[in-house]
Amino acid sequence: MKDKKVKKIFNNISLRYDLANFFISFGIERYWRVKFLKMISGSEKRILDACCGTGYSTIAVAGRLKNEAALYGIDFSSEMLEIARLKSKKFLSNTNKHPGVRIRFQENDVTYLDFNNNYFDLITIVFGIRNVEYREKAIKEFYRMSSEKGKLLIMEFNYPKNKFIRKFYDFYLNYVISNIGAMITGNKKAYSYLAQSIKNFPDPDKFSRTIKESGWKILKVCPMTFGICTIYYAEK
Ligand SMILES: C[S@@+](CC[C@H](N)C(=O)[O-])C[C@H]1O[C@@H](n2cnc3c(N)ncnc32)[C@H](O)[C@@H]1O
């Protein structure tokens, strides 16, 4: 879908995005996120959380960091970022565990960023890449900005390969997601888009090829929960 429409959708659902996520995944996304976070060593100094949305992923990454670090959350939806800023203020004021971590949110398109070459030790993108119109360009841009041996961690939904699982998943995508999403956010169109975008997203083999073709070396591909969610771990 075109960037403009995606931006409009996320601006529209921002207030209830986190809550809707929890319910439409029946809470499983929390388990996926824990698995994702365990792949972060915590010693990184410059981190980019691309498509950070309401900052859910950004704040969780901040919680993993052990040293002084600069963490940037980038998103092109101003409404999602507004919530992210409020949440990060609360996080930073409630914790004395991560005094050296600075979090900055910027409204920008992740496909065109002006950070220097070789800048980031770690780039994360959680449930974001599926929504990016020029995906390959964004992954190449991440490569340019990543330091030598810098890491790229992507988590994204997939349409499962198994035909039997697909039957259940189709029901879930077509009826459950859009109805629960609509009930919570009042926006049925947005959740129909989200369901369709999961179906349209390339399978893990194809998407791994895109990552490799951008220069990255893939270290791990971890499918979870019957292949409906996958973590991609790559190194420059
Ligand atoms: C599903 S949300 C993910 C939010 C967050 N990472 C999380 O863990 O919940 C996807 C986000 O990607 C953003 N997005 C999509 N395409 C983008 C682009 N080209 N540049 C910046 N943000 C983009 C949307 O605005 C939206 O906030």
- Show the domain range for 156: 3-160+201-235
Q: Are 206 and 124 in contact (CB under 8 A)?
A: no
CA of 12 to the centre of ligand 1 (A): 13
In a domain, 168, yes or no: no
Give the closest residue (by CA) to ligand 1 atom 12.
51
In a domain, 167, yes or no: no
Rounded to two decimals, the pTM is 0.94
What span, in angstroms and rounded, lies between the C-alpha atoms of 183 and 185?
A: 6
Q: Which residues line ligand 1 (CB under 6 A)?
A: 3, 6-7, 10, 51-53, 56-57, 75-77, 80, 109-111, 126-128, 131-132
For residue 21, the ligand 1 atom closest to its alpha carbon is 9
In a domain, 195, yes or no: no
CA of 149 to the centre of ligand 1 (A): 25
What span, in angstroms and rounded, lies between the C-alpha atoms of 112 and 28?
A: 32
- The domain total for the chain is 1
Closest C-alpha among 96, 35, 26, 27 to residue 60:
35
Ligand 1: residue of 1, 40, 54, 131 to mutate (most ligand atoms within 8 A of CB) is 131
In a domain, 187, yes or no: no
In a domain, 194, yes or no: no
What span, in angstroms and rounded, lies between the C-alpha atoms of 53 and 11?
A: 10
Closest C-alpha among 220, 157, 189, 183 to residue 25:
157
Give the closest residue (by CA) to ligand 1 atom 17.
132
For residue 7, the ligand 1 atom closest to its alpha carbon is 25
Per-residue pLDDT of the chain (236 residues; tens, 9 = 90+): 688 888 998 898 888 888 888 888 888 989 999 999 999 999 999 999 999 999 999 999 999 998 899 999 999 999 999 999 999 988 888 766 666 899 999 999 999 999 999 999 999 999 999 999 999 999 999 999 999 999 999 999 999 989 999 999 999 888 888 888 888 888 888 888 888 999 999 999 999 999 999 999 999 999 999 999 999 999 99
Q: For residue 9, what is the domain's CATH number?
A: 3.40.50.150
Give the closest residue (by CA) to ligand 1 atom 13.
51
In a domain, 192, yes or no: no
